[in-house]
Amino acid sequence: MTNAQRGRYHGYLVIDKPGGWTSHDVVARVRRILGERRVGHAGTLDPAAVGVLPVAVGDATRTVEYLAVASKSYRAEITLGIETDSYDADGGVVA
C-alpha cells in the first residue's frame, strides 16, 4: 500500500474544543480540513464542556484505545441560588 492510499497525515492533534461543539463536530471538521478519512477522538467531551480533545489521525487511530483509558480531571464553576426552567445552564432563569 502506498502512502497516497494510506493517507498523508498520521499522529495526534490536541484540540481546544469550544463549548457548543460535540466531539463528533470536531472530528468532522478535522476530516474536512485535512481531507483524511481516518480520524477519531480519544474520549468524548459533553457539548457544553470546553477543553482538550485529543484527536488521532491516520495510523494513530490504532492507539486511541490506550489513551481513552487514561484518567481525566475536570474543573467546574457553579452559581448557587439560581433556578432554570430546564435545570441546567442552558435554560431560562426562573428564580
pLDDT at 72: 76
Rounded Cα gap, residues 85 and 27, in angstroms: 32
Positions annotated as catalytic residues are: 46
In a domain, 87, yes or no: no
User: Whole-prediction pTM value?
Assistant: 0.74
Rounded Cα gap, residues 30 and 36, in angstroms: 8
The chain-wide mean pLDDT, for the chain, equals: 88
Question: H helices within 35-89, ranges in order?
Answer: 64-68
pLDDT at 2: 56
Cell of 91: 435554560
| Mean pLDDT of the region 42-50 | 87
Rounded Cα gap, residues 54 and 89, in angstroms: 26
In a domain, 52, yes or no: yes
* Bigger pLDDT: 69 vs 59: 59
pLDDT at 43: 83
The boundaries of the domain holding residue 25 are 3-68
In a domain, 32, yes or no: yes
Domain count of the fold of the chain:
1
Neighbouring CB atoms inside 10 A of 60's CB total 20
pLDDT at 5: 56
> What CATH number did the domain enclosing 12 receive?
3.30.70.3160
In a domain, 89, yes or no: no
In a domain, 20, yes or no: yes
